[in-house]
Amino acid sequence: MDILALEAKSQNGAEAEKKPTPKPKPKAPKKAKRIVYFEVEILDLKTKEKLLLLDKVEPTATVLDIKALFHKSYPKWHPARQSLRLDPKGKSLRDEEVLQTLPVGTTASFYFSDLGPQLTWGTVFLAECVGPLILYLMFYFRLPFIYSPKYDFTTSKHWVVHLACMCHSFHYIKRILETLFVHRISHGTMPLRNIFKNCGYYWCTAAWMAYYINHPLYTPPYYGLQQVNTGLYIFLFCQVGNFSIHIALRNLKSSGSKVKKIPYPTKNPFTWIFWLVSCPNYTYELGSWIGFTVMTQCVPVAFFTLVAFVQMAVWAKGKHRSYLKEFRDYPTLRSSILPFIL
């Protein structure tokens, strides 16, 4: 009896093993996420008049996308001419800012203002550099109607005058070539009216410096050749350093990319100053003009250097604050333009 019972149990177990296992029930398909579209109204900054209402704007749309939609309705206002703000007294929004990240509800109001005719930054940079280059050479060659007629097309007997012309021309030719082949300009355009202010400053100061350095009554520096050589070495050293920084910044991001990265020193020793300052290109630029001031011992050059330092310090401090705001791991040892000072 026990043997028969064991055989029966084994047969029942084998039959149980042969029964197919039930298939799992298919999962119900996930419901597609509902996209919440935005309604965007664009108002005139001055009159508060409603210019356009955009319905069903995707949340991932950028400010530049909204400008493009606005341009379709108002072709006379190219996106480069448009300034959009969330508050009439607030700052203009950046093109890369995304709609859903802005402090607005599903109905967003933007205030529009016309920036006027625009020029590319590259064009402005070229105009700023070509003018001083040509003007300085006009004074160097002593063209008529600049000095007394008896000095027309004469040359100075002082070697430092010719050296200063070479250094000044080298500086601006370098800037022109960097604008054409090195710089990746992130800002697309600037108002046309600004070119008169920018060029007026650079052109007038270049003419002022050139007038005195190339004047027939110009006297060489007090300490002679030693002072001239010291200024020349400072100038050349800083020019190489400035170029090295521009190359490092160019290699930091690819063409067309707006992704910002922290600049770090490279194998080039001239870039090691990145350990101490955020904007070493301005540091080297300042050093170049200090060297030019020492070399020429000219008051207008010293004045230009001082004004340039104040302006570059403002730019550098703004860039430094931007780095600190965007990157939590930004090196704390860095100053903006002068190591450990400013």
Residue found under tokens 């190489």:
240
Handedness of CA 129, 177, 315, 322 (dihedral sign): positive
Helix H or strand E segment including 191: strand 189-191
Half-sphere exposure of 131 (CA within 13 A, CB side): 19
Give yes or no for a contact between 93 and 63, defined as CB atoms under 8 angstroms apart.
yes
Residue-level pLDDT at 6: 46
Residue-level pLDDT at 21: 61
Helix, strand counts (H, E) of the chain: 8, 6
| Nearest alpha-carbon partner for 42 in 66, 26, 76, 19 | 66
Distance CA 287, CA 171 (A): 13
Distance CA 242, CA 286 (A): 10
| Nearest alpha-carbon partner for 305 in 285, 319, 320, 277 | 285
Write out the two tokens for 43: 């108002």
Distance CA 171, CA 196 (A): 22
Backbone angles phi, psi at 144, to 5 degrees: -60, 155
Distance CA 107, CA 89 (A): 20
Q: State the CB neighbour count (10 A cutoff) for residue 57.
A: 17
Residue-level pLDDT at 22: 61
SS3 assignment, position 81: helix
Are β-strands 118-120 and 38-44 bridged in parallel, bridged antiparallel, or unpaired? Answer: unpaired
Residue-level pLDDT at 1: 46
Distance CA 157, CA 155 (A): 7
Mean pLDDT by 10 residues, the chain (342 residues): 50 52 62 76 91 89 92 90 90 88 88 88 89 97 94 94 97 95 79 87 96 96 96 98 96 76 94 96 98 97 97 96 92 94 90
Residue-level pLDDT at 122: 83
Give yes or no for a contact between 42 and 110, defined as CB atoms under 8 angstroms apart.
yes
Distance CA 83, CA 92 (A): 6
Residue-level pLDDT at 20: 58
Distance CA 32, CA 125 (A): 51
